[in-house]
Amino acid sequence: MELRREEKKRFVRKKFAAVTKRYDFLNAFLSMYIDHYWRNKTADSLGALPSGPLLDLCAGTLPLAETIVRRRNDGRQVVAVDFCLEMLQQGVQRLSGSRWLDSIVPVCGDGELLPFPDRTFSGITIAFGIRNLGDQEKGLQEMHRVLVPGGRLLILEFSRPRTPIFGALYSFYLHKVLPVIGGWISGDREAYQYLATSIQGFYDPPLLAGMMEAAGFQEVGFQPLSMGIVTLYSGTKGK
Ligand SMILES: C[S@@+](CC[C@H](N)C(=O)[O-])C[C@H]1O[C@@H](n2cnc3c(N)ncnc32)[C@H](O)[C@@H]1O
């Protein structure tokens, strides 16, 4: 089991390093730019928080960290953690010269073993990252550990539409269209096959919400967005 998880982590890191250059373009293109709306919604849902820095986990090329800094504009630091150095570098390069980068602290590290003391962050976000962790339970426990009491966690993740007709169309897009276009543009078809199978095999929203509760989060809820293509989960750490 442990080996399979480590293997998955090695595979995931390698695949993101391989698609780094085309990642942002493909995200926007394949989602028809709806990904911007999903990240805006996540950033806005952080709402009022205790004082302290924020953590954006599995930050990739920094799109959510940037969205949070831009939309909140409250001078808070956003620590952006990812274990794929190439993704972080791409984000820093993309944002170089922008004032938003001044509030972002990129850190190359593992989301399942966060290099921070307990109760460090007032809010945590993770967009399209939890599905990629080797061990979701471990990741959630780490998020809970580094959150301050009263702090909020937001998870944005792909899910599967519930309505049969749209669900069937989406499944066709996921397995037949996305790997071809993604593979063609990024040069790594396997990465986009992995995206499709990992979405298909991921936990249903009530299950992931239950895992958040098991990790200690309170007031756990979730909201499907865009007909259930993605789901936004939220939880708080008790005071
Ligand atoms: C699909 S990308 C999401 C990037 C970004 N959050 C966004 O909204 O586009 C997932 C990211 O999670 C990172 N990741 C996966 N497992 C990780 C782990 N255990 N620790 C840190 N980062 C991880 C990958 O390197 C990749 O950059």
Helix axis angle, 34-45 relative to 2-30, nearest 10°?
A: 110
- Whole-number pLDDT of residue 3: 63
1 pLDDT more than 70: no
Closest residue by Cα to residue 106 from 134, 84, 138: 84
Contact 184, 29 (CB under 8 A): no
Number of domains forming the structure of the chain: 1
- Whole-number pLDDT of residue 13: 96
pLDDT tens per residue, range 145-180: 999 999 999 999 999 998 999 999 999 999 999 999
Q: Which long-range contacts (CB under 8 A, 24 or more apart) does 33-37 make?
A: 34/226, 34/229, 35/63, 36/67, 37/225, 37/226
Distance 45 CA to ligand 1 centre (A): 20
pLDDT tens per residue, range 78-121: 999 999 999 999 999 999 999 999 999 999 999 999 999 999 99
In sign, the C-alpha dihedral spanning 17, 18, 22, 24 is negative
Over residues 69-86, the mean pLDDT reads: 96
Q: Which atom of ligand 1 is nearest to the CA of 139?
A: 19
What is the distance between the terminal CA atoms of the chain, rounded to a whole angstrom?
Answer: 35
- Whole-number pLDDT of residue 186: 87
Look up the CATH number of the domain holding residue 117: 3.40.50.150
Domain that holds residue 33: 2-236
pLDDT tens per residue, range 182-229: 889 888 899 999 999 999 999 999 999 999 999 999 999 999 999 999
Q: Phi, psi at residue 220, to the nearest 5°?
A: -75, 135
Task: Say yes or no: CB of residue 83 within 6 Å of ligand 1.
Answer: yes
Over residues 32-46, the mean pLDDT reads: 96
Which of 5, 22, 35, 58 is the pocket-test mutation for ligand 1 (most atoms within 8 Å of CB)? 58
Beta-sheet strands, E only, within 109-217: 121-127, 147-158
Residue with CA nearest ligand 1 atom 27: 60
The pLDDT confidence band at residue 31, using thresholds 50, 70 and 90, is confident
Distance 120 CA to ligand 1 centre (A): 20
- Whole-number pLDDT of residue 30: 86
Instruction: Return the half-sphere exposure (C-beta side, CA atoms, 13 A cut-off) of residue 22.
Output: 17
